[in-house]
Amino acid sequence: RKEVEQDPGPFNVPEGATVAFNCTYSNSASQSFFWYRQDCRKEPKLLMSVYSSGNEDGRFTAQLNRASQYISLLIRDSKLSDSATYLCVVNSFYGNNRLAFGKGNQVVVIP
Amino acid sequence: DAMVIQNPRYQVTQFGKPVTLSCSQTLNHNVMYWYQQKSSQAPKLLFHYYDKDFNNEADTPDNFQSRRPNTSFCFLDIRSPGLGDAAMYLCATSSTSGVIASTDTQYFGPGTRLTVL
């Protein structure tokens, strides 16, 4: 089983609509969770960290469900500039500084 | 201002010809990472340095080596590139203190896109 699993999509979203997707992780000892954004042929950039209580940053909301071992990202009022791949990233607690990346959810916002 | 710099941005090499990719950082972070990312795939960690301590991933081929001569610089050496090594190579840094795995952000450089002819 992969450490981090995501449905690659693409998720075709009309401009102004809401889109949400989940990511599951296999290591129950994981302590840190992140969403990174990656534009085509560019490097990943941190979008937001995901906290146990859930957190919101403008139009973006992240949630963590430890019992079911998944995190989610919701994008409200989608903009054309939101078109990108959203990578789910998990950091294991024990032993090292590794991040495990999912393949990403590709979002295409359509005018 | 650029914080993680990778050179060159694009590298073309011939099959079997050694190549070196470089990464430098102005963040004074103690951890530096090298990732390989192929099209439509997740970044794959090759190895990382925690200060001077080298940590190799179990499935990283011997063809890939790394050097970190000082805090600011880290190099990825591919001794005999094969066609399957064509990819984007990403350098990242983070700041970690103590033995607990860091919750700090990893900052990525813009990557070097390697083509093998």
- Classify residue A91 as exposed, middle or buried by CB count within 10 Å of its CB (0-12, 13-18, 19+): buried
Residue B94 has pLDDT above 60, yes or no: yes
Structure confidence by residue, pLDDT tens digits, B36-90: 999 989 999 999 998 999 989 889 999 999 999 999 999 999 999 999 999 999 9
Question: Is the pLDDT at B110 greater than 90, yes or no?
Answer: yes
pLDDT at B112 over 70: yes
Query: pLDDT grade, residue A27 (50/70/90)?
Result: confident
| Inter-chain CB proximity A94 and B101 less than 8 Å | yes
Do A59 and A75 contact (CB within 8 A), yes or no?
yes
For residues B14-32, average pLDDT:
95
Does the pLDDT value for residue A93 go beyond 60?
no
**A38-78 pLDDT, tens digit each:** 999 899 999 999 988 889 999 999 999 999 999 999 999 99
Location of structure tokens 């469900």: A65
CB contact under 8 A, B108 and A44: yes
Q: Which of B6, B23, B45 is the best residue to mutate to test the A interface, defined by the most A CB atoms within 10 Å of its own CB?
A: B45
Q: Do A104 and B55 touch (CB under 8 A)?
A: no
CA neighbor of A4 nearest in space, from A70, A98, A96: A70
Tokens of B33: 């990472």
